[in-house]
Amino acid sequence: HDKDMEALGVARPTETPRATEHIDGMIRLVATLIEKGLAYAVDGDVYYAVEQFPEYGKLSGRDLSDMLAGARIDVNEKKRNPYDFSLWKASKEGEPWWESPWGNGRPGWHLECSVMSQRYLGDTFDIHGGGEDLVFPHHENEIAQSEGATGKTLARYWVHNGFVRVNNEKMSKSLGNFFTIRDVLMQYHPEVLRFFMLQSHYRSPVDFSDAALNEARQGMDRLYSTLKTIRDLLAVGAGKADSAGVTEKDRELTGDLQSLRERFTEAMDDDFNTARAIGCLFDTIRLLNTSLTGKKADASTAILEQTEKTLREIGAVLGLFIEEPGHYLRLDREREAEKRGLAVA
């Protein structure tokens, strides 16, 4: 996992806590909830009393009374309410267990997240993420636990990602369309996969297909080719027009590029809309092409450097352009030739 994430340019977490290292904290949290009247113990089990937390359902937009009216869940005689959930479960033969004031047992599914986030991030933190299938009940229950105990907002922003699909079908081993990140990286450069993911809003489903990945590869080739062209032109001394000082064209381009950077920031501020933000990269290329007259070698140093700066600044936020352009393009040619069984010139 760590190697795959590193290949994709994902920074390693500063902490990787294990639930079993925080059992004492979980027991303390359960005790706090019982003291506050938000939980109750029955025969070695402890349940959260959802009706005692008025804001239950606020994340998922569900109303508890409506949920109860249409409830089709297994009846548990120990529960006061069908939607009460386990905080602590009495031990069963063959299961791991820990000592607690309510007897030997183990924590409920949701408890560890509340305890570990509070331990490392505090009572309130900025961003909480997870798959869209975790909104209810997991994250809803996590909120009830944490906010019930502290009286403070758990997370200021919630981000839930869509599911991964393959050729418009759910990815699963039973369908025979299951693959790993490493499988994809054997065929494509890590930045291609990262770019592909960025083309979709994180809340939307991601549909993998060879055609879509190849389209992402072509997009990255275009971007890296532009960076290489700029580097090559600067290396051979493009910029002879600079002797006349800053031209009107340079001033216009500088303003247009600044507008593009602002549009990029607006897109990222719009719930991390990377799909829209990616468009700013290609708009930068188009702006360069339409702003040039005559041969590309006649472009001023200012135009070339400002364009490269904009591409690099946007790319840095998105985690792109890690490679040296010439090296990236060479690796891409070699990988494509290998796919076709061709020798690399």
Instruction: Give the span between the Cα atoms of 196 and 190, in whole angstroms.
Output: 10
Task: Report, as an integer, the average pLDDT of 164-186.
Answer: 85
- Which helix (H) or strand (E) element contains residue 128? strand 125-131
pLDDT, position 328: 96
Q: How does residue 155 score in pLDDT terms, banded at 50, 70 and 90?
A: very high
Those residues whose C-beta lies under 8 Å from the C-beta of residue 105, and which sit 6 or more positions away, are 44, 45, 88, 89, 90, 91, 97, 98
Share above pLDDT 70 across residues of the chain, in percent, rounded to a whole number: 92
First to last CA, the chain: 34
* Own/partner pairs, 26-30, CB within 8 angstroms, 24+ separation: 26/88, 26/107, 26/111, 26/112, 26/115, 27/88, 27/98, 27/100, 27/101, 29/87, 29/111, 29/114, 29/115, 29/145, 29/149, 30/87, 30/88, 30/100, 30/102, 30/107, 30/111
Residue 10 has pLDDT above 60, yes or no: yes
pLDDT band at 298 (very low <50, low <70, confident <90, very high): low
Give domain 166-339's CATH superfamily.
Isoleucyl-tRNA Synthetase; Domain 1 (1.10.730.10)
Residues 114-140: what's their mean pLDDT? 97
Residue 218 sits at the vertex; the CA angle it makes with 333 and 208, to the nearest 5 degrees, is: 110
Q: What is the pLDDT of residue 292?
A: 65
Top-ranked range on mean pLDDT: pick from 166-170, 176-180, 324-328: 324-328
Which of 15, 17, 35, 25 has the alpha carbon at shortest distance from 107?
25
Question: pLDDT of 178-228, one tens digit each?
Answer: 888 999 999 999 999 999 999 999 999 999 999 999 999 999 999 999 999
% of the chain surpassing 90 pLDDT: 74
What residues contact residue 8 under an 8 Å CB cut-off, 6+ apart? 181, 190, 193, 194, 319
pLDDT band (50, 70, 90) for residue 301: confident
Domain boundaries, the chain: 2-161, 166-339
Q: What sign does the dihedral 222-223-228-233 (CA atoms) show?
A: positive
Comparing 171 with 24, the larger pLDDT belongs to 24
Q: Quote the pLDDT of residue 340.
A: 81
Give the whole-angstrom CA distance, residue 303 versus residue 230: 10
pLDDT value of position 167:
84
**pLDDT tens string 263-276:** 999 999 999 999 99
CATH of region 2-161: 3.40.50.620
Among 4-8, 11-15, 68-72, 92-96, name the one with the lowest average pLDDT: 68-72
Mean pLDDT on 111-118: 98
Q: What is the mean pLDDT of the chain?
A: 91
Q: Residues 6 or more apart from 239 whose CB is under 8 A from it?
A: 299, 300, 301, 302, 304
* Residue 22's pLDDT band (cuts 50, 70, 90): very high
Angle at 11 between CA 10 and CA 15, to 5 degrees: 130
* In the predicted structure, residue 335 carries a pLDDT above the cut 80: yes
7: CB partners within 8 A, 6+ apart: 181, 185, 190
